[in-house]
Structure 1
Amino acid sequence: MNHLPATPAVDTAPTRSREPLVFGGVPEAEGWALAPITPRDRVHFRTDHELPLEEFRRELPDGVTVSYDQGEGLYRVDGACGTASVVAEWVRAWCAGRGTATVGLRAETDVRRRAPRDLPPAFLDGLCRHYLPVSLKRLQRNSSTLRLHVPDPDDLTQQVSEWILKAVEQFDEGKGVPFGAFLATQLSKWVHDLGRNAHGRTAADTENRQQKAVAAFLAEHQRRPSEKELAAYMGQSVATLRRNSQTVATLNGLRNLQSLDGVGPDGTEIMLPDAHEAPDEIMGEAEQTLLSHALTAACAPDPDARPDQRAGQPNVLGWATWYLTTWGGRTKTQLSGDLGTSVRNMNVHADRVERALKVRLVELAD
């Protein structure tokens, strides 16, 4: 008698799935639908003086809104699709009428964003409370970079909270990617942007590529590469590698200049040689040291300015512009390419240095 093979047992128990997240009594998926992402035209710009924001808001054309990112010193003006060029001209004229110069003004069309304030307050509050500890844990792998740019734990919590709100603004629920996955991807990008914004995009990207190449060579050969080997490994000429290495060295030098945070210059005593005893070349080096000291002090934050104002932050770009064009043999056009910024923006920062440096040089002459 033939027997049919036994039918394998099938687990008919339902697969366990994660319960949907609920914030403020509203399921997450439903919450996004309450404030869908919408297209608009946007104008981005910075200024050489902080704008009176409430007055600016009152005088904006109907249907146009503005937000201000204090951390980046960046204004974002939003209008209806098709109005980017008109809004850009209006912003430029309004600022010029009040003696304020715009820096890096750029119009962008068809930007898809949502305003976090359009979400139910309880939903937004619950979402932020849930994703804050998740994000902080996710960012532990970037702790060394974060400590460099955001050393205070309270400031880090604030920065991550701002990033969560930024992700809420950009998240497009129609693309089928969960918000948590979108946020994790953006966090890695924004950590990298901290260095790019502080020290110039091209310089930070160059440093990142060189570090990765050195690490890969070390893993493969168990030793550091020579200059020629590293150039070949990166597919560059030795001349290009040397030029890029100078950019990286400048970047690291800027990071290590304690005096740019307002701590060093005025509290440090400089011992000068006796002009009658020291040879001319030593006195020449002493004068260069004094000039460098004065330049660095001129780039320190203004102690009378608020930390969120441009004058209350170290003028890194102004320092790089003055130092590298005076002693580094570089032109502003070359620096513009290396640092990923416009010559006009460099001039704005360099003018701030010049005003402060004139005072310092008078003190030195006395």
Structure 2
Amino acid sequence: MNHRPATPVDDTTDPRGRAPLVFGGIPEAEGWALAPITPRDRVHFRTDRELPLGELRRDLPDGVTVSYDQGDGLYRVDGVPGTAQVLVEWVRTWCAGHGVGTVGLRAETDVRRRAPRDLPPAFLDELCRHYLPVSLKRLQRNASTLRLHVPDPDDLTQQVSEWILKAVGIFDEGKGVPFGAFLATQLSKWVHDLGRNAHGRTAADTEHRQQKAVAAFLVEHQRRPSEKELAAYMGQSVATLRRNSQTVATLNGLRNLQSLDGGPDATEVMLPDTAEAPDEIMGEADQTLLSHALTAACAPESGARPDQRAGQPNVLGWATWYLTTWGGRTKTQLSADLGTSVRNMNVHADRVERALRSRLADLAD
């Protein structure tokens, strides 16, 4: 199926001398007017197990919708303005009736959103096709961060496409800002959120402040700053700048040491100086080391043949340990969800425990 590119039409009223874009035969400004952004009340929550969305949607009151962000495990229930507290109680009651616990249940009023599906299909299709290459080019300045979190080019294209749809949903055409400019601003924010979600708020924000300061210095002086100049530019001592740079680099390295199906762990782990690193950084480092030790303990054993149990990644053992330790699940719940017996889970978990004991002993030393 052939798709036409966005078509400019003549319009002498644009003070910049640019013709407005046309998507699916509809000028961009007129397209937004066909599905204006509207206010609603929203309830956010997570659960201790995935909900049956089909059943939830059938039970929802008229005019109420639900969406699920699988990546964040976050549910959003939307209703008309003024119904926030009623929706909170409805969600709490419905989940309790299905034996599901809610986490972080909260209401938000006057949320302004549009559903992308409300736009004309041809308009939305051509708009996304137009802004995808524009967005990818705009994100070239964030290439190093993106490669860290989304290394596969196909995955990056999918991620940026999702961001464009997300921007469509929150773009307020009444504020007078063109969609392209709004999208560029949001892309920078969402790239930063990738780091926050993966690395922890403290390290990501520290790195972000340094990157912003370097960029501002480059604009002002047309060269990169020295360490002393950057410290002065940020209002910090050189020692503080070095410490922050070390902790950011440490956490980035720790979180990229080894995958579940990787080989033997031969990477030396460099930790921050506990006398100088902030407490929150050390807390993140401790959690990362524990997570890494668990993952490494579930990797194939060195020297085992691929056709042996020990030569395969211990995925069931990892799931059993992780979800019962940090995911709030019981072995009985996992047994039902994974379709295996508790006895089988215990066998795989015991393998993890034996490998983990030696790793944690090494960490304690």
Question: Could you tell me the TM-score, scaled by structure 2's length?
Answer: 0.66
Q: Which residue, 263, 273, 287 being the options, matches 2:261?
A: 263
Label 1:250 to 1:60 Cα distance change in 2 as closer, same or farther (>3 A). Answer: farther
The answer to whether 1:54 aligns with 2:58 is no
The alpha-carbon deviation at position 216 of structure 1 amounts to 7.7
Kindly report the root-mean-square deviation, in angstroms, between the aligned alpha carbons of the 2 structures.
Answer: 4.1
Structural mapping, 1:185-224, within 5 Å: 185-212=185-212, 223-224=226-227
Residues in 2 aligned to 1:158 and 1:350: alpha-carbon distance in whole angstroms = 31
3-state secondary structure, aligned to 1:61? coil
Query: Rg larger in 1 or in 2?
Result: 1
**Alpha-carbon deviation of 1:99?**
3.5
Instruction: Report the residue type matching 1:81 in the other structure.
Output: P
Instruction: Name the amino acid aligned to 2:144.
Output: S
1:297/1:24 CA distance change after superposition, 3 Å? same
Aligned equivalents of 1:302, 1:37: Cα separation in 2: 48
Paired amino acid for 1:207:
E
The answer to whether the Cα contact below 8 Å between 2:95 and 2:102 also exists between their aligned partners in 1 is: yes
**Contact 1:24–1:123 (8 Å) recurs in 2:** yes
Give 1:189 deviation, angstroms. Answer: 1.0
The whole-number CA distance in structure 2 between the counterparts of 1:256 and 1:83 is 44
Give the Å deviation of 1:68: 1.6
Q: 1:61 to 1:127 in 2, by over 3 A?
A: same
Ranked by relative contact order (alpha carbons within 8 Å, sequence separation 6 or more), the top structure is 1
3-state DSSP class of the match of 2:227?
coil
- Listed one character per residue, the Cα deviations across residues 21-64 of structure 1 (whole Å, up to 9, x for unaligned) are 11111111111111111000111222332222111211122221
Contact 1:40 1:81 in 2 (8 A): yes
Match of 1:105 in 2: 105
For 1:52, give the aligned amino acid: P
Q: Which residue of 2 aligns with 1:284?
A: none
Separation in 2, partners of 1:142, 1:110: 33
How far is the alpha carbon of 1:149 from its aligned partner? 0.8
Question: What is the match of residue 361 of structure 1?
Answer: 353
Alignment-derived partner of residue 82 in structure 1 = 82
CA contact (8 A) 2:44 2:75 kept: yes
The separation in 1 between residues aligned to 2:18 and 2:215, in whole angstroms, is 39
Which digits, 9 at most, give the CA deviation of each residue in 1:98-142, with x for residues without a partner? 333333333211000011111111111111111111111111111
Distance 2:89 2:297 in 1: 34
TM-score by length of 1: 0.65
State, as a whole percentage, how many aligned pairs show the same letter: 78
For residues 67-216 of structure 1, the aligned pairs below 5 Å read 67-212=67-212
CA distance in 2, matches of 1:240, 1:67: 43
Query: Is the partner of 1:258 in helix, strand or coil?
Result: coil
Q: Which residue number corresponds to residue 6 of structure 1? A: none
Deviations 1:279-338 (A, max 9, x none): xxxxxxxxxxx988652347899857xxxxxx7xxx7xx9xxx9xxxxxxxxxxxxxxxx
Q: Deviations over 1:188-220 (max 9, x none)?
A: 111111111222223311222245557889989
Describe the shift of the 1:250–1:359 C-alpha distance in structure 2 as closer, same or farther (beyond 3 A). Answer: farther
Q: Post-superposition shift, 1:152?
A: 0.8
Structure 1 residue ranges without an equivalent (≥5): 1-12, 271-289, 305-310, 323-346
Distance in 2 (CA, whole Å) between partners of 1:62 and 1:179 is 32
CA distance in 1 between counterparts of 2:225 and 2:94 reads 60
Within 5 Å, give how 1:214-293 maps onto structure 2.
223-225=226-228, 230=231, 234-235=234-235, 248=248, 251-259=251-259, 262-264=260-262, 267-268=263-264
Distance 2:137 2:168 in 1: 19
Within 2, Cα distance between the matches of 1:255 and 1:363?
20
User: Deviation of residue 255 (structure 1)?
Assistant: 2.7
- Partners of 1:293 and 1:187 lie apart in 2 by 30
Query: What is the SS of the residue equivalent to 2:44?
Result: strand
